[in-house]
Structure 1
């Protein structure tokens, strides 16, 4: 096994990988390559199609439109369009975006098995994990790669945020589950998300809409798109604001999303992608589990002196530098975020011949943040750049239909970041500077993939990725006291070389069912920020982190049991080495990261779609995910005492064992009420531990959502179509944990004994409550 794990191979293996990557397109480009691969080699696990995709098109694997403008017949698709052998769920517009007020991307992605959601820090920010590998995170999404229209929106340090994602802009989202570094490179240890915006021809006009609902929620959005000769454009813009259901949780965010294409000749296509998002969000306080049970929504917490029972307070240094602390609530501390994200990218596609397409894409991605919340304030600028060139060839290999793909990619981010103490009162005041970071993080790698139809019913897939990543930087830490300020310097100069092979086999004897097996690897290098936060939760030296590696096995089946019922079942078993563990050392402090030597993730994913009568439809997504440490000894210190605890066999914090979504709906198929519909939806999640010792378990939940919608053409009016919808979420007004920051275990400074559940239950800085009963309604006019 070690030789198969990413990162275990040395320079010899790297040279062999480079030879293989170079050879793949050359073999497929040989003169014998004349026939396109048969459509029967394309497998997709489960599809939830939408209003912009004809029914059955996605599920049958016959959609031949690539991202951006559609290529001419015979042009090669992007490799992420219907890759054979992958475990992919396609989530479309129907039932998820088109006829419901999707206030965040979280309400959409729950349709996919394997996806776990946590409320992020403010506004519509959510933290997404696939197969639980990131479920403990509560601020930034990591351990997956995110793309939009084929362009990366995960920065080179592995960070993805979903503030910039407005669900209304999308026609489909593909969820890739399992290790994916052979296809997507660094950070894809658990999977990938591929967002697809609506193209100009999908929109074919313009639309205006408004949603309004509980807690001051108000969304205005506008879409325009069409085709004129060689030009195609799709533009989406929105303004969303709300007061929030917790104290200090109002937000205001604006998004612009552009996809434009120019096709001067049948074999040349140019695509432009632009995204800009600005968010201003107040940040509520994360409480303890005890506080959640008393005051889940942190209401009546305007001032510490008059705070209601269960309010969370944070101790801010009275002078912002040293000495005594003053307790403040989130409102008194003016905790907030002011962030901006801008992405500008372009792609040129050229069909060398009817079977071969060459692409080059470049992009600029800048993330600026100003986050004065809790006991510290972070400010940073992260401009990044990416370049990728790839070649796709359809043809024959040794007389067998085949598709080959090879890519070379480079990305880099230049980081300038600072951390300040917070000072109390008078708004979001900054105290003394306590940390200053300058770093450059880069990734350079190549990837190759071969799909070959061994026989009419058998398709084999082989992939290999190799990548070198580097982090060079420094962190200066400042400590201020009555006698002055001192500083210490921590530097990092790290190089990581990783390899990621992948093999898969698909057996599809008939269109209605298929069996698939897959073994794949993934890797994720540390981010610059994790190298410079120590176990105290303050800026410092943590530069010895290792690459997180995983080896995963998937076995599954996709079957149409009878007309109208599509079922997908996947079993997975994944072995992690040096898994990243991120947790909070205390209220208001920065999360720190360390490596757990070995762990195992295993489970079952079930997805189903059932059209059981005209207009009647059901959707099911279920995940069982069992994750345990198999080799991890945790060392904890307090005062002069240090103790070691063996965590082998303990469940990994933050990961629920069971997750479930079921939706049953009816849409009137014909007659005067055609277009009227509704559905009932249940979302349930098991409880999970929030500490490595498995002493504290947050409770699970089940919530009920109800929806009604109406869509009809307006043949005699100025508008072409009207869409009306309303949704009551959490009908029973259940108070549940929407996000829990994992907590560090502690020991008694006098005895060295591990502190029990009561101490953890009273530790603040962990819990956000999920939304209470909420109603949102909206309208969209299409012209």
Structure 2
């Protein structure tokens, strides 16, 4: 009865099925999370929390709803809820917790395997084997790598740098006890770049590990992951250390990679009123990268077999480029001014790769003034060092950053009502120098002449406050506000070189592009949570989010080359959520949330073509609306159904796009067009059975289905990326044992993409192409874009086999 529950989702049709079968759905269910902060509403009074004192702690991942919840407390005012930081399960927030324990009997390659069971979340492959672009309600779907428009944390320590970029390379999913997903604009609580939401990864504590947990996973295409977690709690000290080494050849040509991760968390209860938490993360990554394809190239050669050497001209070159991604670079490594000085290369020949390192050190001090008042202060040092010859140009950068926060939380009253008050200040800053060089056509990522040098400083300074008020034992109101100043000061130097004559190779021209911009932003939030019935919890939320530009976006022009883009504005997102959690039995949870969000100056990123940099621009007006559902149901002992479904309908409401050249410009009204990069329908479902008793107890299996509908990748809604439906199956054995030092043993085997379907794992947005027809500027059609719009697509995995074993000592 101790196994924790993961949240899933389902459509309205599934709800009807549940009502029809409720007579047989009344067996006892293991402890279950109801889907976020609202679940804590069913426990006990805030007075009990204050009597128990502020050091009421619960291991990460074990916050659960009891089978017979105490309904005396208002939503969000249970003792467990009040003992946690405000950000952990914010009352009124549309929120999901995914439990790591539900994934201990399957291979975990990336965080996608866990997060796909949170509604509202979608994914695409980034640049690297573990670089997953995570999107909440389509917020980061237009990004080509990493994560933007979402604030990411680990154990409450920010892993989003001050310029708004997060990466999942450093996140091995085996390390986590759970993942918290905050959906919708959340700047009132998380500040800049939380216009789409936030994600908090939670590692296992030393007490939870309580020994050594070692595992090894292997599979198709050279996949091998060795990982270990060591943890122990002794008196007032708790320490947990996780380490992994992952290697893989990759199923696409020239995508070999390996990454090493160390993740440590130590907690020291110095006095009854003082807790110190130390955090350390180290990640070292090397990955070969292939080029991205056009749609036609994907259909003809999705895994880029045979893409070694490109002919330089003629019919042979045309035949080669129909099948393979290529990049055009200066043959001498400088800036070519004629076709004779250009060289068409491939990812294999030029050695496109990433060689990155990330180090994060954090320290948090929590001090209790009394049983009602807690002061938290934390400081983080975050250094990202990259060497990335990933295409026609290479990026080299070392980006150190600092992040400091301090806040006070007090449980008390407001106008005679029970209340929790929260106020805090925060500051983060990064200062770096980055270099953009031409990539040489032949070599292991070798670089040529410097094209641009960027010296940048970006900092965010802000304050936030929050009031949670229990209007009655069934109704809680929340008001929140963040105010923030963002400053960017940067200078980019552009260089060109003499190509001929006595001064060949010397600098021919220099251009300096200065930027000095200050942005002021405000993020309000208000919500009402109402427990209509003991089994039905509803919530209504209005909130705002904002995301300023980052320095890198200000120096790539609409030709995809280094240049001025200084008119880019802050994007704002204002929206409403309304939904409910319904739990009529301990064996059933169903949740439904609808959202409607208005974007102003939405930042869209797209590619002008192969070998060019992605650039960002503002769309003045757009709307995002949709529905998110989840289902978790155990109709019989050992049987479990988990599912979720998300509907996203996103359109431009005000946007006129300018295409063409200065001499011949066309203007295209995009109002009413779909926003590219966002799939309207995504769904994930799993049916599992585990033998609950008998000699074979612990033997189980599941079948899983993942679906994504087709979607556009251009503003003109011309080019469509095909949808997909993938089926996977798993068999596993997981059992407690008593054999010398061995406490637990697990073995598992999985087949992914059983029917070996071709599918698109990643498609970057592309720019529409135009031409002159009868003196008029017109858009190119589907055939032209499918053939010529390269630099977009990575194929997903074919059928593959993976398995592993785990030992707990």
Q: Report the TM-score, using the length of structure 1 for normalisation.
A: 0.91
Matching residue of 1:99:
105
- CA shift for structure 1 position 34: 9.4
Choose which of 579, 591, 608 in structure 1 pairs with 2:614: 591
- Cα contact 2:60–2:203 (8 A) shared by 1: no
What SS is found at the alignment partner of 2:634?
A: strand
Matching residue of 1:734:
757
Matching residue of 1:85:
92
Matching residue of 2:464:
447
Choose which of 414, 423, 441 in structure 2 pairs with 1:397: 414
Cα separation, 2, equivalents of 1:698 and 1:509: 43
Change (3 A) 1:494 1:51: closer
Deviations 1:756-781 (A, max 9, x none): 11121112111100111111100110
Cα separation, 1, equivalents of 2:326 and 2:81: 62
Matching residue of 2:352:
335
Matching residue of 1:276:
282
Change (3 A) 1:635 1:73: closer
What SS is found at the alignment partner of 1:215?
A: coil
- CA shift for structure 1 position 716: 2.6
Task: Structure 1: state its 5+ residue gaps.
Answer: 1-32, 40-48, 65-71
Change (3 A) 1:574 1:59: farther
Task: Choose 129-138 or 167-176, whichever is displaced more.
Answer: 129-138
- Cα contact 2:67–2:586 (8 A) shared by 1: no
- CA shift for structure 1 position 78: 1.0
Choose which of 747, 752, 757 in structure 1 pairs with 2:782: 757
Choose which of 165, 187, 190 in structure 2 pairs with 1:181: 187
- CA shift for structure 1 position 59: 12
Task: Choose 563-572 or 209-218, whichever is displaced more.
Answer: 563-572
Cα separation, 2, equivalents of 1:58 and 1:146: 32
Cα separation, 2, equivalents of 1:725 and 1:34: 44
Matching residue of 1:464:
481
Residue 543 (structure 2) pairs with residue 520 (structure 1): yes
How do residues 567-586 of structure 1 correspond to structure 2 at under 5 angstroms? 567-586=590-609
Residue 435 (structure 2) pairs with residue 426 (structure 1): no
Deviations 1:512-554 (A, max 9, x none): 2111100000000000100111111111111111110011100
What SS is found at the alignment partner of 2:469?
A: strand
Deviations 1:607-634 (A, max 9, x none): 1100111010011110000000000000
Matching residue of 2:395:
378
Change (3 A) 1:228 1:536: same
- CA shift for structure 1 position 75: 7.5
Deviations 1:131-189 (A, max 9, x none): 00111112121001001000100000000000000000000101100000001000000
Cα separation, 1, equivalents of 2:515 and 2:115: 37
Cα separation, 1, equivalents of 2:159 and 2:415: 38
Matching residue of 1:319:
332
Cα separation, 1, equivalents of 2:50 and 2:97: 22
Matching residue of 1:119:
125
Matching residue of 2:298:
292
The number of aligned residues is 733
- CA shift for structure 1 position 111: 0.3
- CA shift for structure 1 position 691: 0.3
Cα separation, 1, equivalents of 2:101 and 2:70: 18
Change (3 A) 1:281 1:502: same
Residue 791 (structure 2) pairs with residue 773 (structure 1): no
- Cα contact 1:38–1:401 (8 A) shared by 2: no
- CA shift for structure 1 position 54: 7.6
Change (3 A) 1:51 1:212: farther
Task: Structure 2: state its 5+ residue gaps.
Answer: 1-44, 52-57, 74-78, 501-506
Choose which of 235, 238, 244 in structure 1 pairs with 2:241: 235
Change (3 A) 1:706 1:390: same
Residue 309 (structure 2) pairs with residue 303 (structure 1): yes
- CA shift for structure 1 position 110: 0.5
Cα separation, 2, equivalents of 1:702 and 1:427: 37
Cα separation, 1, equivalents of 2:595 and 2:82: 34
Deviations 1:476-515 (A, max 9, x none): 1112232642111111111011111110001114442111
Cα separation, 2, equivalents of 1:359 and 1:292: 51
Residue 768 (structure 2) pairs with residue 745 (structure 1): yes
How do residues 40-79 of structure 1 correspond to structure 2 at under 5 angstroms? 53=62, 56=65, 76-79=83-86
- Cα contact 1:87–1:177 (8 A) shared by 2: yes
Change (3 A) 1:209 1:741: same
Cα separation, 2, equivalents of 1:338 and 1:56: 45
- CA shift for structure 1 position 308: 9.2
What SS is found at the alignment partner of 1:108?
A: helix
Deviations 1:439-464 (A, max 9, x none): 10000001111111101111101001
- CA shift for structure 1 position 93: 1.6
Change (3 A) 1:315 1:637: same
Matching residue of 2:692:
669
- Cα contact 1:76–1:356 (8 A) shared by 2: no
Matching residue of 1:628:
651
Q: Report the TM-score, using the length of structure 2 for normalisation.
A: 0.88
Cα separation, 2, equivalents of 1:615 and 1:482: 72
Deviations 1:724-762 (A, max 9, x none): 111111111110111001000121157422211112111
Choose which of 647, 652, 663 in structure 1 pairs with 2:675: 652
Choose which of 142, 156, 178 in structure 2 pairs with 1:136: 142
- CA RMSD of the aligned region, Å? 2.2
Task: Choose 633-642 or 435-444, whichever is displaced more.
Answer: 633-642
Deviations 1:224-283 (A, max 9, x none): 001111110000000000000000101010000001011021111000000000100000
Matching residue of 1:68:
none
- CA shift for structure 1 position 396: 2.0
Matching residue of 1:478:
495
Task: Choose 145-154 or 77-86, whichever is displaced more.
Answer: 77-86
Matching residue of 1:362:
379
- CA shift for structure 1 position 326: 1.6
Deviations 1:186-237 (A, max 9, x none): 0000100011000001100011110000000000001100111111000000
- CA shift for structure 1 position 426: 2.8
- Cα contact 2:611–2:791 (8 A) shared by 1: yes
Cα separation, 2, equivalents of 1:297 and 1:240: 21
Change (3 A) 1:57 1:231: farther
